């Protein structure tokens, strides 16, 4: 049982790395720096609902670490932006699931909104400027539809996985 769970988590990490790398190559529909769909977060949410908070954190952290290694941006500013965003978004999702009565849609929105906040904080610290603050409201508003989208996908995945069990 222990080995099977470990295998499943490894598979989840592999899928999320794939999503992370694919997402980096898709051209963006809106010319706003920092805006993206957050497809990799689908896997994080699935991990949170299938297993527990610890598994989600490890899946997300391993994803950022390995995907950055593959793209060759480990320990560059882009890596720290990713790490800061994913840390805050994971913590927000875990807190939202544990402490409130939100469904997967709300949890997904919380995690995408806090991903934006984390990235803006990282930009402010690394580049030592408050200019990204001007983009924060727009990014926050955009994080709601993308959060709902990832929540919807994660919901569909969970439905199908649970019926197979």
Query: Strand, helix or coil at 131?
Result: helix
Contacts of 26 (CB under 8 A, 6+ apart): 37
- The Cα 70–Cα 113 span in angstroms is 26
161 binding other proteins? (CB under 8 A): no
127 binding other proteins? (CB under 8 A): yes
Q: Which one of 6, 22, 70, 141 is in contact with other proteins (CB under 8 A)? A: 141
Contact region with other proteins (CB under 8 A), list: 11-19, 24-32, 43-51, 82-90? 24-32
Residues 73/79, Cβ–Cβ less than 8 Å: yes
- The Cα 59–Cα 68 span in angstroms is 14
- Of 62 and 95, nearer to other proteins (C-beta) is 95
75 binding other proteins? (CB under 8 A): no
Binding-site residue total for other proteins (CB under 8 A)?
33
27 binding other proteins? (CB under 8 A): yes
Contacts of 162 (CB under 8 A, 6+ apart): none
32 binding other proteins? (CB under 8 A): yes
Q: Which one of 68, 90, 111, 143 is in contact with other proteins (CB under 8 A)? A: 143
Residues 31/139, Cβ–Cβ less than 8 Å: no
134 binding other proteins? (CB under 8 A): yes
Q: Which one of 6, 28, 70, 161 is in contact with other proteins (CB under 8 A)? A: 28
Q: Is 14 exposed, middle or buried (0-12, 13-18, 19+ CB in 10 A)?
A: middle
Q: Which residues bind other proteins (CB under 8 A)?
A: 27-28, 31-33, 77-78, 96, 100-103, 105-106, 109-110, 113, 123, 127-129, 131-138, 140-141, 143-144
């Amino acid at each position: 049982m222990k080995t099977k769970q470990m295998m499943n988590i490894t598979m989840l990490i592999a899928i999320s790395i794939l999503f992370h790398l694919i997402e980096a190559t898709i051209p963006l529909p809106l010319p706003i720096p920092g805006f993206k769909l957050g497809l990799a977060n689908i896997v994080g949410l699935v991990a949170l609902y299938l297993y527990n908070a610890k598994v989600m954190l490890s899946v997300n952290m391993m994803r950022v670490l390995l995907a950055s290694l593959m793209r060759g941006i480990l320990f560059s500013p882009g890596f720290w932006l990713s790490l800061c965003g994913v840390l805050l978004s994971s913590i927000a999702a875990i807190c939202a699931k544990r402490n409130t009565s939100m469904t997967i849609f709300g949890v997904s929105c919380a995690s995408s909104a806090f991903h934006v906040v984390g990235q803006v904080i990282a930009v402010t610290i690394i580049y030592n400027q408050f200019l990204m603050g001007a983009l924060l409201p727009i990014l926050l508003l955009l994080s709601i539809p993308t959060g709902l989208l990832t929540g919807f996908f994660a919901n569909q995945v969970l439905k199908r996985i649970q019926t197979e069990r």
